[in-house]
A and B are shown apart, each in its own frame.
Chain A
Amino acid sequence: MASTGDLEPTHYPARRAATVALHYLNTHHGSPFRVFGLQQVHKASAEDVAAGGRKYKLDFSVTDWASGSEGPALRCSADVLFPQTERHSGPEVQLRCEALQQINRTAQEEHAFYQRYISPDSAVSARDIPDSYGNVSEEMQPFWRLARVAASFIMLRESSERTEFNMAQVASVAQQGSSEEQLMLEFVVLLHDFPSQEIIQWKLLASWSPDRGVRVLQTEWQPRCPHATKPPN
């Protein structure tokens, strides 16, 4: 029932696959000062593969959300394979984006941010980023982007042809003691899945440094309590 061959780029099957490629891009190239958003799908096609999954070929553009709402677009192409397995296993992505190898223009900001928070006494902690009114303080912006990058590991892993994830909000961030010169952050993130409209909560532990980038060390799904109206801590 899923369409095979050329796909309409503005329709959801192409967009969902491109969103998966986007999550992959963010896990590899996202940072506190760089996080990508999908701008447009140009071309897409899909086919069934021998082992029983579906493989999408995509041509799309992304923008760096960290450089304003409509920064310069980056052109990418990707192969996204949704495997067909008994238990869910995450999609496999091969991705090429032009000009990613450019000079890392954010190196200075990354180092300044790192220096500021790597001290043993640093104990950043905050809730609701953005708040209900869409506000994000200047200080929290890099943490917000970092959360989105870390959340991308989860979104990538949990994706299928029936999902389309976005990070809706950072419920909380709590800095943990640094380890091996990495910033250690515990996030609780709210993910929004578009097809089901569900808000799914995950707690995760991530490390970051300018040299090693983002690593997600632990993830834990948080069950939704029908009675509770605020996410549990």
Chain B
Amino acid sequence: MRLYLAVFALLAAVHCEELFNGDQVLRIHAESESHIHALKELEEDVESGLDFWTHGFSTERPVDIRVPQSRLYAVKDFLKKNNIPFTVMINDVQDLLDKEKAEMVGNAKMERNTKSFNFAAYHDLETLYSFMDTLVASHPNLISKVNIGNSYENRPMYALKFSTGGVSRPAIWVDAGIHSREWVTQASAAWIANKIASDYGVDPSVTSVLGQMDIYLMIVTNPDGYVFTHTNNRMWRKTRSVNSGSSCRGADPNRNWDAGFGGPGASKDPCSESYHGPFANSEVEVKNVVDFITGHGNFKSFISMHSYSQLLMYPYGYTCTDVPDKSELHSVGTAAIEELTSLYNTRYQVGSICKIIYQASGGSIDWTYNIGIKYSFAFELRDTGFYGFLLPANQIIPTAEETWLGLKYIMQYVRNHPY
């Protein structure tokens, strides 16, 4: 152990790494002018090696000083002699630094392994993409990664395909993060991807769905927007396309679909959060999904995840007229919500987009419904506004767990009602 320490110290010295073994941080409470005078004396003594963490002395605020181990006795003695009260805030600075470093190294390691991928945290795009790769690598017979095209800023758009075989089986689509600021959706989708993988062969209903159908899960549907919420503006919603003639960027990817495009509930102002874009499918992110869905030709259900408000909705958004399948969709939605609520008592409402939240044209599930994908739904996940978009990470897993129960119900229903 001694040898190890000696070598370590040598290496540290060689690498010019400063060590703080035995150093303490003292919190000093000056109570009078003479105390302040004494502290100033201490500070003026530059040979002392004292590291003042607070500058400017007053009797109103404590002063924190890191004291090297070699000077501890002398400094404490000085303070006692001058009757200056102090407490030991940090007992051993190096110890604390070592613990912090170990935690960071540990976290980084954790990210690299899905078995310990931290689902209870928000991750950047790179980490989510590498999670997808790890998931695929650990379930090569069940999951593959499909690149459906690039985003505006040339980032790949990946869907995870869950399939037990067959050729172009009837399929279910689930997407998250089309609106980039709705972080709980991407985070929940990652958990759900892992859940489907681990439940296959174990949970009867997942196993039976995958026995007949494929599931496509797109964890980050708006990668440019997602990156922007990390680097620049947490509240960014849209894509990041350049709008000609405007300094404002992006269109609302959920107003850009070819269903009542340009109608009420979408804006023609490029600076607006609900700008519909110059024409339907102008946003490459939308076009990629549209092309994929039409190219595949056999989707039976399309489910899009948003936040917040705790709602489960079916078409239409672009008009308040009921869809022909309204009764069935409403009762499927109601039953799905019962499953969801059964876990943590989270209250959800069910209804058409237009009636429950607002008339909104150019939405994805309106388009999918109109091309014949009957079981088209949109979720608004937690919460109801307390945290809103900024949902704390400790709610990711509960949200994902309850949402999964609702999703599973829908998937099971779709499997049992082929058309």
Contact = CB atoms under 8 A, between A and B. Distances in A.
Contacts of B27: none
A168 B386 contact: no
Taking residues whose C-beta sits less than 8 angstroms from the other chain, chain B's interface range is 35 or more
B408 interface: no
Given A198-B272, A229-B232, A166 B393 contact: no
Contact of B355 (A12, A38, A132): A12
A116 interface: no
Interface in B389-411: 389-393, 395
Interface stretch (A76-84, A98-106, A189-197): A189-197
Given A10-B356, A134-B392, A227-B247, A196 B273 contact: yes
- Max chain A Cβ within 10 angstroms of own Cβ: one of B237, B246, B272, B384: B384
Given A130-B390, A227-B247, A8 B233 contact: no
Given A134-B391, A227-B247, A197 B385 contact: no
B149 interface: no
A10 B351 contact: yes
B127 interface: no
A197 B393 contact: no
Main secondary structure of the interface of B (DSSP, over half): loop
Interface residues of A, number: 34
Contact of A131 (B121, B384, B390): B390
A121 B388 contact: no
B137 interface: no
B361 to A, nearest CB: 13
Contact of B122 (A38, A65, A133): A133
Given A12-B355, A229-B233, A196 B389 contact: no
Contacts of B265: 195
Given A10-B351, A69-B386, A194 B358 contact: yes
Contact of B233 (A40, A135, A195, A230): A230
A121 B393 contact: no
Nearest to A19: B385
A31 interface: no
B349 interface: yes
B235 interface: yes
Contact of A65 (B350, B351, B386): B386
Nearest to B246: A226
Contact of A168 (B267, B351, B390): B390
A40 B390 CA distance: 22
A134 B393 contact: yes
A11 B392 contact: no
25 contacts: A10-B349, A10-B351, A11-B355, A37-B386, A38-B384, A38-B385, A40-B347, A121-B61, A130-B387, A130-B392, A132-B234, A133-B121, A133-B392, A134-B391, A134-B393, A166-B385, A168-B390, A195-B358, A197-B237, A197-B252, A197-B273, A198-B272, A226-B246, A229-B228, A230-B232
Interface of A: 8, 10-12, 37-40, 65, 69-70, 121, 130-135, 166, 168-169, 190, 192, 194-199, 224, 226-227, 229-230
Given A69-B386, A134-B395, 8 more contacts: A11-B356, A40-B347, A132-B230, A134-B393, A168-B388, A196-B273, A197-B274, A198-B273
